[in-house]
Structure 1
């Protein structure tokens, strides 16, 4: 009996010690931020903090290596760090420049890897040119208030932005502050210089650390790929190219399908990342509807079509830039103009490519397999597209509505034709004004001089 009691007592004691040491375990949620600070970085931070909260983590450790990025997203990350009830650690390995310096200042603890640096936080445009005083003033204020919130030296933080702040022990007047890893520790910005995460835990006296490491999934990598400016430009080119092709040859179906798929691939990741808002997508859709109405319903091409094009351009441009209903003050300086240039460049390029290669593309075997075509038999009045000059000034009848392309009949033979007047109803009498390549160009007979 005594043996049994002793055995039960030991088992209970063993589990009690296990529970005790388990209660002493420190949960640390670890993630990397090694990219330009933008929508993808902000999404990563949000997901990491949400997971750390659900995991009931005691600390969240961000391993940081960035040269900076968009101020609005850096400010969002800064706010997330300041407002979190989880202790935050930023481990700089290797760079925390510009927006990265702001993010670092918002953490509870800063650790630096040997050879790392932090600082140089002047606000610049995409070309690296320092922007006017109003931008620098805003950034200086953010740096000061963030440093004060974490009881760090606000003057040192402001010197990252303002070269005129005098700190003789660190820099000459007229120079921005950029601290080495050793200097960051020496001047009290960083807690210690460490070679790895284990050294951080030792310095913080964390025992029995349980790490949970955040890793990006396949969807995150796909989204990051799709929001790359180069990929966005290609998608815009496909959107505009598809719309233009459908306007030139209504009823193709394939062209507008390409435009719609490209639009979904363009807007979906931007919406998920918090860049594209509902109203921006709505502007694009309204523009698309106006263009469709102009092409298929309203004769000619006038104010409705022009408004549609403007709406499409605005929807695409605004979706690429973070804003609060046209308030762009926190957007990366020059981003709106750069986005506009990207959209316009893709639009112009798509039209040029369609003009140069459009007709050749329509005749390729691959395209013919993708596009459903009615069989046009010679006994039904159809003929080949090889046109002769003796059709010039010939009169005929529109057998379909020309918006602006369609079918006409001349002397019992049907031809492909394009209306130079923009819109001709079925049954109207026409005459051939000119022909180029595989198309006749016609006008209303009533306008024949």
Structure 2
């Protein structure tokens, strides 16, 4: 084989190898993560981790597999913001339900696909019992879901030589999923909250198509020979999601403050103080790891606890140390929940700061409401009754620090040994006693009668 032939063979092999490698490198990468639970802190943590990991892997698209009845608005808002700001297109496959907070998250995605028989909507803000929250909460949700729909912009439609611009996601329709007073002809009557079925969502621009599974969604997005990478939650992310839940934060604050109060009421028990310390660690640890709780914020909390203890044990009362301690404890707990830089709050959303204030205030209030009557009950009638002195030492039972023999002289008569002005001395049963005249002066040698005995002193009157 001559040199030219060898060269051509080697060039062919190299070209084929390069083409094969290039084909492998260009295989579409689909990153998929699930939200199939109530929207909360754990869902928010999973979303952050999934989108960050997809960005590191340079995925072509992110696919959210969603099935939820809703959850907490604050976390749903954080998730929708993360999706809107993602550099990688985020698509959602609604597997049956995208209600309430789930609807908000879905509308934030670049495209929506729904399983036949699925639904999207009913985004009214409700409390734990299912009752509608006051209008200020509904107003915030209306604005948020309207802004989310507007973020997708408008499509240009040319018909009959005229150019019109139509919202890709109609903000009014999105708002009707929250506000029952909105009327849209042919879609929803006033007095009803809007919820779309799959076909209705497709008809009105809130769904790009129906699909039976994830693979069908990916194919409809125009990807073939793709590779799917599934987000796998770590044990730490699950624990962290639980520990950073606002409800759990409130419980931890209750234990921190309640435990300190209980320990201060009965020093030396140890268990309440230990419970308070463990709760403080569980409160601050995940926040510190995430970079929310700074060293100085934790130090503020510790200094506040020390000042409160000083106020109680060293300088009893309620002065500067106690007030300063309470302010520092409250400040440390609150600032640890927000992403501030020292005292720069310019990048902290107002709603986030407001939420942290509510959590700390509610936890503190409940701690006193629960801790005060509970400590009184346990220390007076519970198993801890024996460690504190609750009974009073009655004089009738013999608890007295002075001689009580003179009490037996009540009703006895005697003679004034000196003039009582009003105090002096009297002789009763041939014994000399100090005495005080109940009224006026009693002269020497006048007869007296003992009326009472108090504070180690006989009280007498003239005896006629």
TM over 0.5: yes
Question: Is residue 300–residue 329 contact of structure 2 (8 Å, CA) maintained in 1?
Answer: yes
| 1:328-343 to 2 correspondences below 5 Å | 330=351, 340-343=361-364
Determine the C-alpha separation between the residues in 2 that align with 1:331 and 1:240: 23
Q: For 1:295, which of 290, 307, 312 is the aligned residue?
A: 312
Q: For 2:401, which of 377, 394, 397 is the aligned residue?
A: 394
Larger relative contact order, structure 1 or 2 (CA cutoff 8 Å, min sep 6): 1
Determine the C-alpha separation between the residues in 2 that align with 1:55 and 1:123: 36
CA displacement, residues 119-142 of structure 1 (integer Å, 9 cap, x when unaligned): 122334454443444444443333
Partner of 2:120: 118
Secondary structure in structure 2 of the residue aligned to 1:360: coil
- Alignment TM-score, normalising by the size of structure 1: 0.69
Unaligned runs of 5+ in 2: 153-167, 403-454, 458-464
Partner of 2:149: 147
Partner of 2:376: 355
| 1:354-433 to 2 correspondences below 5 Å | 354-357=375-378, 360-361=383-384, 392-394=399-401
The 1:140/1:254 distance shift into structure 2, 3 A limit, reads closer
Determine the C-alpha separation between the residues in 2 that align with 1:336 and 1:16: 59
The 1:181/1:71 distance shift into structure 2, 3 A limit, reads same
Question: Is residue 101–residue 121 contact of structure 1 (8 Å, CA) maintained in 2?
Answer: yes
Determine the C-alpha separation between the residues in 2 that align with 1:134 and 1:190: 29
Q: For 1:63, which of 35, 53, 65 is the aligned residue?
A: 65
- Alignment TM-score, normalising by the size of structure 2: 0.67
CA displacement, residues 103-158 of structure 1 (integer Å, 9 cap, x when unaligned): 21121111112332111223344544434444444433333332232232222222
Partner of 1:243: 260
1:23 matched to 2:25? The reply is yes
CA displacement, residues 88-114 of structure 1 (integer Å, 9 cap, x when unaligned): 111112322222222211211111123
The 1:34/1:267 distance shift into structure 2, 3 A limit, reads farther
Larger CA deviation: 278-287 vs 122-131: 278-287
The 1:141/1:224 distance shift into structure 2, 3 A limit, reads closer
The 1:136/1:47 distance shift into structure 2, 3 A limit, reads same
Q: Report the Cα offset of residue 14 of structure 1.
A: 4.7
1:216 matched to 2:233? The reply is yes
1:77 matched to 2:50? The reply is no
Secondary structure in structure 2 of the residue aligned to 1:330: helix
Secondary structure in structure 1 of the residue aligned to 2:383: helix
Partner of 1:346: 367
Question: Is residue 40–residue 273 contact of structure 1 (8 Å, CA) maintained in 2?
Answer: no
Partner of 1:91: 93
Determine the C-alpha separation between the residues in 1 that align with 2:299 and 2:40: 24
Unaligned runs of 5+ in 1: 365-385, 396-446
Q: Report the Cα offset of residue 6 of structure 1.
A: 8.6
Partner of 2:433: none
Determine the C-alpha separation between the residues in 1 that align with 2:189 and 2:335: 42
1:107 matched to 2:109? The reply is yes
The 1:134/1:87 distance shift into structure 2, 3 A limit, reads same
Determine the C-alpha separation between the residues in 1 that align with 2:36 and 2:238: 14
